[in-house]
Amino acid sequence: MLIEDNPGDARLVQEMLEEGISQFHMVWADHLQAGLELLGSEEIDLVLLDFGLPDSQGLDGFEKIHSRKPNVPVIAITGLDDEKVSAEGIRRGLQDCLIKGKVEGILLLRTINYAIERQRLQLELERFAKELKDSEVRLRNIIEQNVDGIIIVDQNGTTRFVNNAATLLFERKSDELLGQNFGFPITVGEKTELEINRKSGEPLTAEMYVNQITWEGESAYQASLRDITEHKRLAEAKDEFISTVSHELRTPLSIIKEAISLVLDGITGEINEQQKKILVTSKKNIDRLARLINDLLDMSKIKAGRLELRKTWVDVSSTINKVVSAFESTAKEKGLELITRCSGDGIDIYVDEDKIIQLLTILIDNSIKFTSKGSIEVYGKEKDEVVEFSVTDTGIGVHKEDLPNLFDNFTQFGRVDGPGEKGTGLGLSIAKSIVEIQKGKIWVESEVGRGTKFTITLPKLDYEEILKQYLSDAIKEAEKKESFFSVIRILVLNFKAMVRESNEKAKATMKEIIELIKNSLRNSDIVVSNAVSDDVGEIFILLPETKREGAILVLGRTEEKVRQYLSDQKKLERKINFNTGVFSFPEDTREEREILSKLRDTKNG
Amino acid sequence: MYEIRIYISGHTLKSTRLVEDFRKLLDEELKELYSLEVIDIIENPQLAEESMILATPTVEKASPLPTRKIIGDLSDKERILFGLGIIAGKEEEK
């Protein structure tokens, strides 16, 4: 559109525009008001504006057009060579200025083309900028509205950004937090607990998780803070509740049981059959209540992840025998046969023996309960990577549809026995947890009327793992008691050669040596060795509460005994040589890793 | 001589242990070249406000300047010493 009051000039421009292969179509307005009307009604791509109109002078006309259609490029045609006005116009968004009388066809066309293209690019740029800003706003909103407090600190620990939740957490405004030295976060990628210093002084515990990020082009840290005060309070309340249950309920219960036993045994005077019957039932139910309390305590400990394992080197076959023998009288009463079958002379595994006893007790107890005739068979076998054991009965079995729920809490099936033998329904659930906490597996096979078989596999831990476990346990224990311990290492130098000659004999000899060492130690001392399973003859002796000089004495005594034993064994073809090392905690080192590496370093033949 | 302050919230089993461990670390790394001041921000809230302690555990190296602060679990020796500006870090490698 051309806005030009002089019809002659207008015709001139029209001719220039419509000359040749020009792609433009021009509409003409002879004063500004008419131009503004056309601007509203027509599709205008560009305005050529005369700065000397009857109803408008200079930039005033441009402003009116620009405020109505900011996206339509405007080129001014000025009568004078007024640099000042045109510069100001371009600053305000005018695309170009042409001087009246100096306009030629080609120049005009080019100017118009450039103006349109420039306007298009400008719009695109603005659109991009807006999109970018929108997406930044969106991201900020996500961070801003996050329920976790988020703080971004730079490499110096200075706060560069805080979200709303963080200000609430600290009870401080964002400008009180920004630019402050929050501190350089030590742990990245793991959770750490912080006590927040709130303005009100009210305690608040937060869990902080730090990520390394880039912030405004620099390496920075993003710390997420989650309020865990309530969570901690609840956990503490729960712990307290559990210990209350254990102490407040168990103590009176055992007193009641004791009292009933006294009456029942006739110590307080004769009782008749009727009275006896009632007391027997009472006692049975007290036992059941005690079991229920113990089961609940176990369950809550497991659920809270507080079930602590005290792992030791255990011969599972002897554990099985121990548990089975405890059930002998019960089985006999019911006329059931109890069979134990264990492969080999011993199944050594690194587990918590008490937990294994509990596990087997639950399973055997269960089997006896649900079996009225036949047998219960307990089976133990060492496999390549696991130790497998099973409890098989010839009892009533479990319905197929009930099998998947068998290990759930409080599920009981096909209860047929009297009330006195009722369990809590927690047994199998506890059994499953015990197995899983030791990284094992438990499963059940059953057929109604034929019997049930529970199978458990427990992984055999790698020797190195066990050794590390023992060491870290010993360090923890010593630190707790502010105590000390020592480690002795005995390396059989020519063990490999011994194995090559006769694997059986080498292992048997080592086993005997280990037994010998064990017998000369205190009960609390621990012997770990891989001589029975590997081709390196290494024996570790862990001596709790023993200082270096004590350990050296023990070593001297042990060495003497072993040499004595070996010289008595005429059958050995090869002379066995040892290297020994002693290390003490915390005298020599506090670091777990150092103990092992230094011990092995000392005299590694 | 490093002047170091450790800020804790109350004398609990956990905070006592933390201070002990940290002292051990300083003994190992700085021998006698440091002084450690333990500040309980519950007892001394004004000190915490002055040093703008936002949470505990925080460790501050007050001298030599510039002041440096580290926050959180004091388990990673390298990062503690780097964060306090006692050793030059290998941060970029991480």
- Tens of pLDDT, residue by residue over A411-436, are 665 544 443 345 556 788 888 888 88
Residue/partner pairs of A217-222 with CB below 8 Å, 24 or more apart: A218/A154, A218/A155, A219/A154, A219/A155, A219/B91, A220/A152, A220/A153, A220/A154, A220/A155, A220/A160, A221/A152, A221/A153, A221/A154, A221/A184, A221/A185, A221/A188, A222/A150, A222/A151, A222/A152
Asked if A184's CB is within 8 angstroms of B69's CB, the reply is: yes
How big, in percent rounded to 5, are the helix, strand and coil portions of chain A?
A: 50, 25, 30
Predicted confidence (pLDDT) per residue in A527-547, tens digit: 777 655 556 778 888 888 888
Domain final residue pick, A409, A441, A459: A459
B-chain residues near A177 (CB < 8 A): 54
pLDDT number for residue A470: 79
CATH number at residue A72: 3.40.50.2300
Do A386 and A317 belong together in one domain? yes
Last residue of a domain, one of A227, A243, A276: A227
Residue A480 lies in a domain: yes
**Please, what is the end-to-end C-alpha distance for chain B in angstroms?**
30
Measured between alpha carbons, how far is A206 from A193 in angstroms, rounded to an integer? 6
Residue B63 makes CB contacts below 8 A (sequence gap 6+) with B1, B2, B3
Burial tier of B71 (Cβ tally within 10 Å: 0-12, 13-18, 19+)? buried
The answer to whether A506 and A498 have CB atoms below 8 angstroms apart is: yes
Which residue among B72, B80, B82 sits closest to A192, beta carbon to beta carbon?
A: B72
Looking at the 3D structure of chain A, how many domains does it have? Answer: 5
Residues A247 and A330 in one domain: no
Give the pLDDT confidence score for residue A413 in this predicted structure.
55
**Do A256 and A197 have their domain in common?**
no
Task: Kindly list the residues from chain B whose CB atom is less than 8 angstroms away from the CB atom of residue A203.
Answer: 9
Q: What residues form DSSP beta bridges with A98?
A: A77
In a domain, A421, yes or no: yes
What is the structure's pLDDT at A131?
87
Give the C-alpha separation, A363 to A428, whole Å: 8
Partners of A337 in the β-ladder: A375
Q: Which residues of B11-23 are buried (b: 16+ CB within 10 A; e: fewer)?
A: eeeebeebbeebe
The predicted structure's pLDDT at residue A349: 81
The token pair that represents A230 in the structure block: 């309530």
Domain co-membership, A193 together with A248: no
DSSP A571: T
Residues shown for chain B = 94
A558 in any annotated domain: yes
Compute the distance between CA of residue A120 and CA of residue A292 in angstroms, rounded to an integer.
80
User: Is A334 a member of any domain?
Assistant: yes
For residue A180, which residues of chain B lie inside 8 Å, CB to CB?
Answer: 52, 54
Same domain, A317 and A441: yes
Angle between helices A427-437 and A273-303 (to 10 degrees): 40
A136 lies in a domain? no
Let me know if residue A249 belongs to a domain. Answer: yes
Render the burial of A540-550: b for 16+ CB within 10 Å, e for the rest.
bbbbbebeeee
Residues of A at the B interface, defined by Cβ within 8 angstroms:
155-157, 170, 172, 177, 180-188, 190, 192-197, 201, 203, 206, 208, 210, 212, 219, 590
Instruction: Give the residue from B71, B77, B82, B87 with the most A CB atoms within 10 Å of its CB, the best one to mutate.
Output: B71
Residue A100 within any structural domain of the chain: yes
Contacts of B76 in chain A (CB under 8 A): 186-187
Q: What distance in Å separates residue A138's CA from the closest CA in chain B?
A: 28
How far is it, in rounded angstroms, from Cα A486 to Cα A190? 33
- Considering the domain architecture, whether residues A502 and A550 belong to the same structural domain is answered as yes
Residues of chain A under the 70 pLDDT cut? 20-22, 80-81, 239, 243, 247, 303-306, 344-346, 409-425, 530-535, 570-575, 590, 593, 602-605
* A433 lies in the same domain as A336: yes
Residues of A in contact with B59 (CB under 8 A): 183
- Quick: pLDDT tens for B26-78: 888 888 888 888 888 888 888 888 888 888 899 888 888 888 888 888 877 78
Judged by CB atoms closer than 8 Å, whether chains meet at A186 and B75 is answered as yes
Compare all CA atoms of chain B with the CA of A482 and give the residue at the minimum distance: B17
> How far apart (Å, rounded) are the C-alpha atoms in residues A308 and A302?
9
Q: Inter-chain contact B71–A194, Cβ cutoff 8 Å? A: yes
Q: Are residues A506 and A439 in the same domain?
A: no
Yes or no, beta carbons of A182 and B54 under 8 Å apart: yes
Which residues span the domain enclosing A576?
464-602
Whether A130 is covered by a domain: the verdict is no
A449 and A316 within one domain:
yes
Ordered domains of chain B (ranges, CATH): 2-87 (3.40.30.10)
Based on the domain organization, do A506 and A588 belong to the same domain?
Answer: yes
Contact B91 A219 (CB under 8 A): yes
Same domain, A485 and A580: yes
CB-CB: which of B24, B55, B70 is closest to A194? Answer: B55
Same domain, yes or no: A514 and A440: no
Which among A227, A259, A276 is the end of a domain?
A227
Whether the Cβ atoms of residue B18 and residue B10 lie closer than 8 Å to each other: no
Question: Nearest CA to CA, how far is B91 from chain A (Å)?
Answer: 10
A155–B54 C-beta distance less than 8 A: no
